[in-house]
Every structure is written in structure tokens, then in C-alpha cells.
Amino acid sequence: MSPGTFSAMPAAQRAEGILDANTFVPGGGVTSDSPLVVGAGALDGVPVLVAFTDGYIRGGTIGVRESGILARLAESAITGDAHGRRPAALIIGFDTGGVRVEEGPLALAAASAVGVALARLSLQGVHLAAVISGPRGCFGAPAVMAALPDRIIMTEGAQWGLTGPKLLGDIGVEAQQVVPPRRATPEQEALAATAAANRLHNGDAHRVVADRAADVRAALAEFIAATHTVAAPRSLEDRLNESAAVAAALQARLQADTSWRPVRIEFAEKARRRDLLRYSFRGQWKPSGSIQRRGLVQAALGTLAHYPALALVVGPEQAHGSGVGIEEAAVVTDMLARAARERGAQPAAILTFLFCQGHAVDLAQERLGLPRALAECLRAMVAARLLGHPIVSVLGGGTYGAAYLALAAPSHRILAMRGTAVAPMAPEVLRAFEALRGHRATQPGGAQLAELIPDIRMVDSAIRLPRVLREELEKIQAER
């Protein structure tokens, strides 16, 4: 990485480099040792908001403080400045290793709230652009956020994926249980899967430009100019259907890929998950519509007590490296679209039961667009919420990283069974990550418990769960 490249610049210089000269006004709350710079400025005379993470400071990781600043910036993209003037676009530069692991569940919850806010902005017509550059690229839960904007620009040599290439090479290739003839090492294959060239080939990124500030600025100026074209607004129903269509297309691409083998769920496990709905709710759950079982997901339309409901049961994992992937995102987005089409005077409550560790650590899925699939899952959940569907998530065992962001964070209420862990990384990924850093591998402990997140309500036993679910649904209805 040469000294004159865009990726070699500190975050503040990147922001200044894409804006008109002397127009950048830094935002408040950012300190000199922060891996985040935010502010406002002009691009070809058009007012914009900007945020850039800096991979040279703490790996560009996003913690509680950075998440708070980003959340306020996202809010101002709708409300505008003190005079009510709204910017033409919000531009986010991603150069980050992910959510800050040291801050545990609080950092994941705060960063996930930013992801939900960005999904909401995208659905409300705020123009968003992402710039992914080095030295870190974009990994972890922020990789899902980076797939939400209208325009995604990568610099040559940048990487973008959920799992870092070294970790993906160690964990993901082994998880596929496939041993094809190889001309490259697992890490080299992982680097190719997450590279800018592959993201452009897939359609995940819209432009790949030279690693120079002038080229990044030119690509952004082209995007800003296009925002002046008035397009007919798309309804939330249309956007939800679009998310389902994108996830279905990615699923079809995955099914056609010979390097991927789906996780096979044994019949006994299917029956056990089916019992969660039929028997755990003591006859209060009654199926009344579509049912899908694929990958780690069982999804069913029905009623819980007197509430029309869509139940989404996700997990547990069946094999090393498995988790929420393209297949699961396709089921979730499709069922959310069906629930929206069938909603009546009382929109169906969406009940999500998460018993998964995290996202799939899988080379084929990364290569074929896993961040994009989970972004559409997140966007669809937020669209359903904006359409009036009450959403309650129940966490059990452990829920980590992008799985928490895409499936739990958009909820009105999050419940967790006592002892459930929540953290930026799933345990096996964390162990591999710490081994790369030369640290002793750790196990999930008290510092990762869901009860440390103030907004999560703990449930002491499965016996109390049906009553607690009804209470939370009644509270949501009363708040409207």
C-alpha cells in the first residue's frame, strides 16, 4: 500500500479528499484517538454527511462510543441541520475489522442499532453510499451494514466479507467438508472470495476504482449527480419483495455452485424444532398457512393464542462452521414477504427464535454474496416492522455477530433465556481470532451474557416463555 493511496490516508484526510476544498466540518464527540471521523461538507456543491472509520486506529473497530456517534449522524440524515436542511446523501467509509470484541455484548448491541438505522434510512428514501477501502477493508457485522447503501464503491485491493481471510481459510474451508484439487492455499482462496474484483463480478459492489482520493471522489460525484433524478417512490411492500427476490437469486446461485454442500438436518432434529411450536406453547400455537423448512430455519404462519403470527426458528447448528447463511436468509425474507401480503387488520406478529451461534463461516457462501444476503434479511425485518408487524425475538444458548444484527436487532422486544451469550464473534471464530493475535483462547463467560444488555428481558425458564411473549405483544400493541 503506497503512501499516496486513499487507503494510506487517515480517516479525516479521506473525508476531506472526497469533499470540495475547505467544506469539511467535523462532527462532535470524536477524539484524536478515535477510529471514527464524522462531519458534513459539500461534494460538487451538494451538501452531504460523511463518516469514515480508520483501520490504522484500533483496527477501525466500532465500539459503543463510535456507534452512538454514528446513530446520531444517521438521525440527522433525516432531520437535517439546525435549519431543517437535509443532506443529499450520507456517505460511509468502511475500513474496519468489525465490532470491538473487547467491549462484548454492549458493543454488538450498539453497533447493531446503527445497522437497523441504516436499513431504515434506505427504506425511507435517504440516499446512502458506501466506500470500502484498506488497510482493513470491511469485516464482521459492519460487512452487513456496508451492503445496505444504494451505491457501494470499493478501492482496488480492498477486501469485504463477514469473516477475515485468515479465519475463513482456517475455519470455512474445513467446514465445507469438500476436498477439491487446489492450486491455491485456503487463505489465498479466501482472499479471492472477499476481494473487490469478486464483489464487482457478483454485483455486490457497484464500482471498483483506483486507490486514489480523486477516483473515489469521482465515483461519489457520479452517484450524487444521479440522486437528482426523481424516481417514483417504492412502497415498503415492494422493497420487502425486492429483498426476497435478491435473497432467492443468491440462493439459486449457491445451489448451482458445486463447491458448496448444504447442511443436512436429520429428521429427529426437524421433529424437535417442530415441537417448539406445537407443544412448548401448550396448544396455543396453531399453524394456519405456509410452512418452510430449509437449512437451519423452520418458518410457519399461524396463530399464537389470538395473535396471527409468523414463527421463525433458526438453529441450532448441525456442523462445524454452519450458521445463518444465504439459504436461511432466503427463507426468512420469503416468509416475511408472505406475511406482509397476507396481513389484515391485525398484522402478524413476527416471533424469531434464535438458537444459532452466528453467520455461516463458509468459503462458497462468502464468495457468492453472504453479506448481501444478510443485509437483505435485515432490510426485510426493518420493512416488516415499519409495516406494523410487532417483532419479538427470543435468544437461547448463544447468538453472535451478524446473526444478532440481521435477525434480533430489528425487534421491538428481545428476550433471552437465562445464561444466553451474546458477543461480536461466535466462540469458535473468537478462538481462532485470538490464536492469530497470539492470545490464549477463551470460552464464553460472564462478560458475554445477554443480561448485560439493558434492553434485553431475561426469561428464567421455557415454561414462562409463552406468558412473557403474550405480555410483550400486548405492550407493543398498547404503545401504538
pLDDT at residue number 178: 45
User: CA geometry: angle at 468 spanning 400 and 280, to 5°?
Assistant: 80
Confidence of residue 145 (pLDDT cuts 50, 70, 90): very high
Residue 65 — very low, low, confident or very high, per pLDDT cuts 50/70/90?
very high
- In angstroms, the Cα distances linking 299 to 244, 310, 350, 417 are 14, 7, 10, 21
C-alpha cell read off for 457:
428481558
Q: So what's the pLDDT on residue 286? A: 83
- The Cα 136–Cα 435 span in angstroms is 19
One-letter amino acid at 383 equals A
| pLDDT score recorded for residue 165 | 85
Flag whether pLDDT at 360 surpasses 80: yes
Q: For position 322, what pLDDT does the model report?
A: 78
Q: Helix 370-386 and helix 236-256: axis angle, to 10°?
A: 160
pLDDT digits (tens, 9 = 90+) for 240-258: 999 999 999 999 999 999 8
Q: Which residues contact 312 (CB under 8 A, 6 or more apart)?
A: 297, 298, 299, 332, 335, 350, 351, 352, 353, 407
Say how far apart CA 367 and CA 371 lie, in whole Å. 10
Question: What DSSP designation does 319 have?
Answer: S
Cell of 356: 444459532
Looking at residue 451, the DSSP 8-state letter turns out to be G
pLDDT of residue 183: 60
What integer is the mean pLDDT of 79-93? 83
With a cut of 70, say whether residue 321 has pLDDT above it.
no
Mean pLDDT of the chain: 87
Q: What is the pLDDT of residue 3?
A: 66
Cβ atoms within 10 Å of 337's Cβ, excluding its own? 22
What's the mean pLDDT in 415-428?
A: 89
> For residue 79, how many other CB atoms are within 10 A of its CB?
9
Give the pLDDT confidence score for residue 425 in this predicted structure: 87
Q: Say if residue 376's pLDDT is above 90.
A: yes
> Quick check: pTM over 0.85?
yes
Q: Residue 148 has what pLDDT? A: 98
Q: Which residues contact 280 (CB under 8 A, 6 or more apart)?
A: 462, 465, 466
Determine which of 29-33, 45-49, 342-346, 373-377 has the lowest per-residue pLDDT on average. Answer: 342-346
Query: Residue 436: what are its φ and ψ, rounded to 5°?
Result: -65, -35
Helices (H), 207-259: 213-226, 236-256
Cα 11 from Cα 93, distance rounded (Å) = 9
What strand order describes the sheet that includes 349-354?
A: 285-294, 297-304, 307-314, 349-354, 391-395, 413-417, 456-459
Bridge partners (DSSP) of residue 285 are 304
Q: Of 48-57, 166-175, 395-404, which range is least confident?
A: 166-175
Question: In order of start, what are the domains of the chain with their CATH numbers?
Answer: 6-159+195-226 (3.90.226.10), 236-478 (3.90.226.10)
Residue 37 has pLDDT above 70, yes or no: yes
Q: Which pLDDT value is given to residue 188?
A: 87
Q: What is the pLDDT of residues 150-178, one digit of tens each?
A: 999 999 999 999 998 888 766 655 444 44
- At 265, the pLDDT band (50, 70, 90 cuts) reads low
- What's the confidence (pLDDT) of residue 268? 42
Q: Looking at residue 272, what is its pLDDT?
A: 46
For 448-479, the pLDDT digits (tens) are: 888 889 999 999 988 888 889 889 988 998 88
Q: What's the one-letter identity of residue 170?
A: D
What pairing do the DSSP bridges indicate for beta strands 456-459 and 36-43?
Answer: unpaired
Give residue 446's pLDDT.
Answer: 54
* 292 close to 273: Cβ distance less than 8 angstroms: no
Strand order in the sheet with 128-132: 25-26, 36-43, 46-53, 89-94, 128-132, 151-155, 207-209
* C-alpha closest to that of 41 among 17, 8, 60: 17
| Residue scoring higher pLDDT (384 or 172) | 384
